[in-house]
C-alpha cells in the first residue's frame, strides 16, 4: 500500500503525463500543470530556486516588493515595447524575452517548417533564458502568440518550478487554424485568452478578448480629420499627401491577392491609395513565388521589406480617410490594424463580418464587404461612395478606454475582471464589458 502511494506521489510530481496532456489539449480545457520534478530539480534550476527563495526572504522590513512580470512574445512591429511600457505603468517590473532565438528570416522559417533541425539552438537559447531569470521571482508570466513553440511544456515547467506562485497567462493573437500546435500548451496555463471569437467558442475555458489600440492612435482619433481628405475622388483638393484609402499588412498568401483585387475595384471612388504589403525578406518572396506558386504575376517591387514603424503608421493614418482591412483566411478575430483604424477616427472597410457584433460597430464608420461583392464593380463603387460621404459617428470616450492597451493588459493580468458569461451568438457584447468565455 505504501509503495502504491509513493508511485502516485511521484506521478503527481512529474506533472501530467503525455496521454493526459494530449487529452486536455484535445478537449481545450485548461488545467494548471504542476511544477517540474525529477531530474530537472537537481541541476541549475535547483540552484536558481534557492537564489529565488533567498531573494524573497531578504526583504523582511515590511516594505512591499515590486510586482514582477515575465513577458514572452515575438518582436512584432514594436508592440513588445508598448506592452512593456503599459505593464510598467501598472506597477510591474518587466523582463522581456523573445520567444525565438533569432530574428533571422531563414531561422524563423525553419522553426515553423522543420523545428527539429534547430532543436540544439533552441535548447541553448532556453538555457540562456533560464540563467537570465535566475534569482528573480515573477508574479505573472505572460506568453503572447507563442507561434514558434520554442517555449514548450518542458521550458514552461522549468519556469514554473522557479516561480511556483506565479500566474501563467497565455494570449493568442493568431487563430488556431493558422497555428494549431499552440493548443498543446493549454494545460500549462492558468488563464487563456484569444483574439478570435471562433476559437473561444470551440475551446472550453478560453476567454475571448479583442486586441487593443495604442495611445497614439487613440489620440489621433481625437484630432479633426484633415479637410483635404473630405473629398473622395480627389477632384477638389490638390494636396498630394492626402489619401483616399490606405492598406497596411503582412502579405500572407491569399490575403495579398484579395486586397489587391479589392483595392483595384475601389480605384474609381478612392484613386489616391497607399498599399503597404510587408514581407520579412526578398528570399521569402522568391520562395513563395517559385516554390509555392504564390504571388504569380508580381514583381519584388510590389512589396515592402522594411517593417512600418509606429510613426510611419501614424503618419499614414493621419493622411488617410479610409483604411482597408482584410484578415487572414479562417480567421474571425479583429486585426490590430482594424482597431487602430476604428479608434483613430478613420473609416474602415473590412471583409471580416464578425465586426458587426462588436460594441463599437457603427455602419456609418465601418463598411463590411461580403465575399463576391468586389466582382460587381459598379455596385461596389456606389456603395463605397455613399459610405465615404456619410459623416462619421464619434465613439464615446468609454469605448476608447475599453479598447486601450492599458485596459487590455489589465484584463489579461487579472487587474480588471473580465466577463464570466458567453456572448450570445450573433449578438453585440454588453456595452459594459467585452470579454466573454467560450461556450464549448
> Does 304 share its domain with 189?
no
Phi, psi for 253 (deg, rounded to 5): -55, 135
Residue 327 lies in a domain: yes
Lowest mean pLDDT segment, chosen from 9-23, 230-244, 315-329, 411-425:
9-23
pLDDT, residue 99, reads: 80
| Residues 37, 151 within the same domain | yes
Name the E strands within 199-355. 206-208, 243-250, 273-278, 320-325, 347-350
pLDDT band at 223 (very low <50, low <70, confident <90, very high): confident
Q: Is residue 4 part of a domain?
A: no
What CATH number should be reported for the domain holding residue 285?
3.40.50.2000
| pLDDT classification of 24: cutoffs 50, 70, 90 | very low
Query: How far, CA to CA in Å, does 288 sit from each of 129, 294, 305, 306, 437?
Result: 33, 5, 14, 18, 38
Looking at the fold, whether 159 and 25 belong to one and the same domain comes out as: yes
How far, CA to CA in Å, does 217 sit from each of 24, 90, 130, 351, 410? 39, 20, 36, 22, 19
Place 96 in a pLDDT band, splitting at 50, 70 and 90: very high
Report the share of the chain in percent with pLDDT over 70.
70
Q: What pLDDT does residue 119 have? A: 72
Query: And the C-alpha cell for 120?
Result: 540544439
Q: Is residue 434 part of a domain?
A: no
Residue 54 lies in a domain: yes
pLDDT given at position 303: 92
**What domain range includes position 325?**
215-399
| 286 and 256 within one domain | yes
If asked whether residues 153 and 270 sit together in one domain, one would say: no
- Summarised one tens digit per residue, pLDDT across range 362-371 is 999 999 997 6
Q: Looking at the structure, tell me whether residues 377 and 290 fall in a common domain.
A: yes
In the predicted model, is pLDDT for residue 346 greater than 90? Answer: yes
Q: Clarify whether residues 240 and 287 are in a common domain.
A: yes
For residue 331, give the C-alpha cell: 480567421
Residue 436 domain flag: no
Whether pLDDT at 36 is above 70: no
- Shared domain for 272 and 159, answered yes or no, is no
The CATH number assigned to the domain holding 16 equals 3.40.50.2300
Residue 160 lies inside a defined structural domain of this protein = yes
pLDDT of 2 above 50: no
Q: What is the mean pLDDT of residues 276-288?
A: 88
Instruction: State how far the Cα of 360 lies from the Cα of 367, in Å rounded to an integer.
Output: 13
Is 256 contained in some domain? yes
pLDDT at 251 over 80: yes
- Residue 423 within any structural domain of the chain: no
Residues 146 and 257 in one domain: no
Note the pLDDT of residue 426.
Answer: 37
Query: For residue 439, what pLDDT is reported?
Result: 33
For the chain, how many structural domains are there in total? 2
C-alpha cell belonging to residue 145: 502568440
Phi, psi of 289 (to 5 degrees): -75, -45
Tell me, yes or no, whether 141 and 180 share the same domain.
yes
Please state, as a whole number, how many other Cβ atoms lie within 10 Å of the Cβ of residue 361: 15
Whether 187 and 241 map to the same domain: the answer is no
The verdict on 354 and 285 lying in the same domain is yes
Amino acid at each position: 500500500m505504501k509503495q502504491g502511494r509513493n508511485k502516485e506521489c511521484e506521478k503527481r510530481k512529474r506533472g501530467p503525463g503525455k496521454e493526459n496532456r494530449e487529452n486536455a489539449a484535445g478537449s481545450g480545457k485548461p488545467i494548471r500543470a504542476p511544477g517540474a520534478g525529477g531530474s530537472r530539480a537537481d541541476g541549475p534550476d535547483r540552484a536558481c530556486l534557492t537564489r529565488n527563495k533567498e531573494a524573497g526572504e531578504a526583504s523582511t522590513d515590511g516594505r512591499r516588493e515590486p510586482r514582477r512580470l515575465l513577458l514572452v512574445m515575438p518582436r512584432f512591429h514594436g508592440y513588445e515595447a508598448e506592452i512593456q511600457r503599459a505593464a510598467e505603468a501598472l506597477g510591474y517590473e518587466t523582463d522581456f524575452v523573445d520567444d525565438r532565438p533569432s530574428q533571422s528570416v531563414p531561422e524563423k522559417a525553419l522553426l515553423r517548417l522543420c523545428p527539429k533541425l534547430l532543436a540544439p539552438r533552441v535548447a541553448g537559447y532556453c538555457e540562456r533564458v533560464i540563467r537570465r531569470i535566475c534569482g528573480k521571482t515573477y508574479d505573472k508570466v505572460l506568453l503572447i502568440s507563442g507561434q514558434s513553440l520554442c517555449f514548450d511544456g518542458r521550458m514552461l515547467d522549468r519556469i514554473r518550478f522557479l516561480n511556483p506562485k506565479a500566474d501563467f497567462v497565455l494570449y493568442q493573437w493568431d487563430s488556431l487554424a493558422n497555428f494549431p500546435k499552440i493548443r498543446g500548451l493549454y494545460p500549462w496555463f492558468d488563464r487563456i485568452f484569444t483574439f478570435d471569437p471562433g476559437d473561444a467558442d470551440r475551446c472550453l475555458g478560453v476567454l475571448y478578448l479583442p486586441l487593443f489600440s495604442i495611445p497614439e492612435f487613440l489620440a489621433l482619433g481625437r484630432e479633426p480629420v484633415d479637410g483635404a481628405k473630405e473629398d473622395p475622388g480627389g477632384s477638389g483638393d490638390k494636396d498630394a499627401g492626402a489619401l483616399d484609402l490606405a492598406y497596411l499588412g503582412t502579405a500572407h498568401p491569399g490575403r495579398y491577392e484579395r486586397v489587391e483585387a479589392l483595392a483595384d475595384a475601389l480605384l474609381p471612388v478612392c484613386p489616391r491609395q497607399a498599399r503597404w504589403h510587408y514581407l520579412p525578406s526578398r528570399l521569402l518572396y522568391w520562395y513563395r513565388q517559385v516554390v509555392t506558386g504564390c504571388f504569380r504575376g508580381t514583381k519584388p517591387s510590389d512589396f515592402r521589406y522594411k517593417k512600418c514603424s509606429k510613426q510611419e503608421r501614424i503618419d499614414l493614418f493621419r493622411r488617410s480617410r479610409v483604411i482597408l482591412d482584410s484578415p487572414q483566411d479562417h480567421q474571425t478575430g479583429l486585426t490590430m490594424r482594424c482597431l487602430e483604424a476604428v479608434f483613430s477616427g478613420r473609416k474602415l472597410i473590412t471583409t471580416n463580418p464578425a465586426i458587426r457584433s462588436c460594441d463599437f460597430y457603427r455602419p456609418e464608420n465601418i463598411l463590411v464587404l461580403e465575399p463576391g461583392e468586389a466582382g460587381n464593380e459598379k455596385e461596389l463603387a456606389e456603395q463605397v461612395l455613399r459610405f465615404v460621404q456619410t459623416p462619421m459617428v464619434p465613439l464615446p470616450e468609454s469605448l476608447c478606454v475599453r479598447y486601450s492597451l492599458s485596459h487590455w493588459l489589465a484584463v489579461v493580468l487579472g487587474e480588471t475582471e473580465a466577463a464570466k458569461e458567453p456572448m450570445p451568438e450573433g449578438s453585440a457584447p454588453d456595452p459594459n464589458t467585452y470579454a466573454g468565455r467560450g461556450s464549448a
